Amino acid sequence: MGIFSLFKRNKRLKSPVDLGVLGCDIHSHLVPNIDDGSKSLDDSINMISKLSAFGYKKIITTPHIMGDAYRNTPETILGGLEPVKKALQENNTPVEMGAAAEYYVDFDFERKLDKEKLLTFGNNYLLFEVSYLNPPDNLYHVIFKMQTLGYKPVLAHPERYNFWHQEFDKYQSFIDKGVLLQMNINSLTGYYSLGTKKIAEQMIDKNMISFLGTDCHHVGHLKLMEDVVYEPYLLKLIESDTLLNKTL
């Protein structure tokens, strides 16, 4: 065993973090065949059962809504959720299921804000994401517009946007503007990149995270979660009492 592997093992927790204390997961892709997440009803039930085994009691799944790629609507999402809920009931899986959406801030998002009632969770929280290549020029304008319409914007996985890694004060600027930040649990494994893991840990140190989500797309993400429950920073985040998952 190499020195690095030994050092990494020594940093791990001796006992796994109990994810049941979170109560609710607020970011996943578990409605089958409508985005890049679950590929079948059986796939969805398998993943939800595994999330239940981790201790989650409620799941608010959030399929993508993207103008170019995944043209979902509240109707396609809520309609697609019904067979999942029915199958869970038939299988006696003890998980409460709901749905919102992960909105992509693209050319069509402002029109949706103006014309449609968007899918939210909890206290009118609206989950949104931006391009991984560069932030939209109108981002602050769109955030303000969400707020004037009564939505509470929640930025999905901010630790994954590499263009802000060298501008850490950007994260605080979002918080100062009333944006809540949602971290992906597997960011703490280094799965997305070691840079992402480092930023995630810095954000936890600064008490910046309001929601923790699995962003579960497939069983591979659940396999990673078997490892992440031994991460000290996961324990630090849960014990920080900044997370709002349990209020949902």
pLDDT in tens, 190-246: 999 999 999 999 999 999 999 999 999 999 999 999 999 999 999 999 999 999 999
Over residues 148-161, the pLDDT tens digits come to 999 999 999 999 99
pTM: 0.94
Encoding tokens for residue 209? 């995270």
Residue 2 has pLDDT above 70, yes or no: no
Q: Angle 74-90/41-54 helices, nearest 10 degrees? A: 70
Distance of alpha carbon 194 from alpha carbon 200, whole angstroms: 10
- Integer Cα distance of 52 and 237 in angstroms: 21
63 CB burial (10 A radius; 0-12, 13-18, 19+):
buried
Which tens digit of pLDDT belongs to each residue from 80-121?
Answer: 999 999 999 999 999 999 999 999 999 999 999 999 999 999
Specify the residue for token string 């804000």: 113
pLDDT at site 5 = 44
Cβ atoms 179, 147 nearer than 8 A: no
Return d(Cα 80, Cα 154) in angstroms, integer. 23
Residue 110 belongs to what H/E stretch? helix 109-115
205/209 Cα distance (integer angstroms):
10
- State the Cα–Cα distance between residues 230 and 200, nearest whole angstrom: 16
> What residues contact 35, with CB distance under 8 A and at least 6 apart?
29, 63, 64, 69, 70, 72
- For 20-240, the fitting CATH number among 1.10.10.10, 3.90.1150.10, 3.50.50.60, 3.20.20.140 is 3.20.20.140
CA dist list (Å): 132 to 38, 104, 117, 136, 182? 22, 11, 26, 10, 16
Identify which of 118, 113, 137, 244 has the alpha carbon closest to the alpha carbon of residue 181.
244
134-193 confidence digits (pLDDT tens): 999 999 999 999 999 999 999 999 999 999 999 999 999 999 999 999 999 999 999 999
DSSP assignment letter at 19:
G
Of 201, 202, 208, nearest in space to 232 by CA: 201
Q: What is the pLDDT of residue 78?
A: 98
Q: How much is the average pLDDT of 2-22?
A: 74
Cβ(189)–Cβ(231) under 8 Å?
yes
Residue 8 is predicted with a pLDDT of 52
At 46-62, the pLDDT tens digits run 999 999 999 999 999 99
pLDDT of residue 68: 83
Are 104 and 136 spatial neighbours (Cβ–Cβ below 8 Å)?
no
SS3 242: coil
Give percent of the chain with pLDDT exceeding 90.
Answer: 94
